[in-house]
A and B are shown apart, each in its own frame.
Chain A
Amino acid sequence: MTENGDCCDYCAMISEFIDGELPPDLCALLEEHLASCDNCTIVLNTMKKTIELYREDEGIEDLPEGVKRRLFTTLSLSDYLPK
């Protein structure tokens, strides 16, 4: 496992591992590999961080006012818009 090419096989496992969806036997295999591979450990850390970053402040915002007004009007529900 000294070449990058081989490690790429672990990327898919790393992705599922982060989601907690990797089967236990593969988890063990991955953990064993991580213990001896800095490259994959960094992929794990930075992928986790990437996911964290793009999920951050993705809260549900209200629709922009004009968008909401036009939507309700199109659906003939404009009487439900706040006055």
Chain B
Amino acid sequence: MDKSKITETEISIDKLIAQDRDELARFVEVYSPRIYRLAMKILNNEQDAEDVLQETFIKAIHAISGFEGRSSLSTWLYRIATNEALMLLRRHSPGTVSIDTPAEEDEEDQEALQIVDWSNQPEVKLSAKEVRLQINEAVSRLPLGQREVFALREIEGLSVKETAEILNVSESVVKTRLLRARMRLRQVLNDYFIERQKREVTDD
């Protein structure tokens, strides 16, 4: 993260505004991996993520003269990218894109808590690859609003405040969505490890 911060300060906004090609190329080089990762987390589809990546930089380069430096360059880019992702989802399935949690999801979270502390189980280390699959699967099934918060806050490491600014929602909305996403993913891993334990017992 420190490395990216240093690079960020090295990019000259003035040169970008002047459409200096060397600087534009560096700008794209530095930020494109993060924007692509964000788009992948929100869209879970390589083609869609690539479309959003391209649109984000086309728009950013076009609109850079309007960048006022009130937020950091990366925050500004993340905002363009999340908007693009949302527009793409709406184009693909008009009328069905809901940012909020579907009602059932809430109840699901409260389902029978099985009290098992798997956090120190050796299986957690041994099955890293399978765990990762479980997590990715679960993230892709989170409601859009939670997925956005998850990607920005948990993966890109932005603060609650920055995440709220990018998504144009209040900080308490960010906190609520983050909590729901965390609880949901914890529950998925919980079920996974309990299931595994059962399997191992029957295998013996």
Contacts and interface: CB of A to CB of B under 8 A. Distances in A.
Interface of A: 4, 8, 11-12, 15-16, 21, 38-39, 41-43, 45-51, 53-58, 60-64, 67-68, 70-72, 74-75, 77, 80
From DSSP, what is the main secondary structure of chain A's interface residues?
Answer: helix
From DSSP, what is the main secondary structure of chain B's interface residues?
Answer: helix
B33 A63 contact: yes
B54 A74 contact: yes
Interface stretch (B75-83, B84-92, B162-170, B178-186): B178-186
Interface string B162-204: 0000000000000100110011011001100000000000000
Interface of B: 4, 21, 24-25, 28-29, 32-34, 36-37, 46, 50, 53-54, 57-58, 61, 110, 113, 115-120, 124, 128, 131-132, 135, 139, 154-155, 160, 175, 178-179, 182-183, 185-186, 189-190
B189 A71 contact: no
Contacts of A55: 154-155
A47 B21 contact: no
A78 B57 CA distance: 14
B182 A75 contact: no
Contacts of B33: 60-63
A77 B19 CA distance: 12
Contact of A45 (B25, B57, B119, B179): B119
A81 B116 CA distance: 51
Contacts of B57: 71, 74-75
A30 B194 CA distance: 27
10 contacts: A45-B117, A55-B155, A60-B34, A60-B37, A64-B46, A75-B58, A77-B24, A77-B25, A77-B28, A80-B25
Given A16-B175, A54-B185, 18 more contacts: A4-B113, A11-B183, A12-B179, A15-B178, A39-B115, A47-B186, A48-B119, A49-B124, A54-B135, A57-B132, A60-B4, A60-B37, A61-B33, A61-B37, A70-B54, A71-B50, A75-B28, A80-B21
Contacts of A63: 32-33, 36
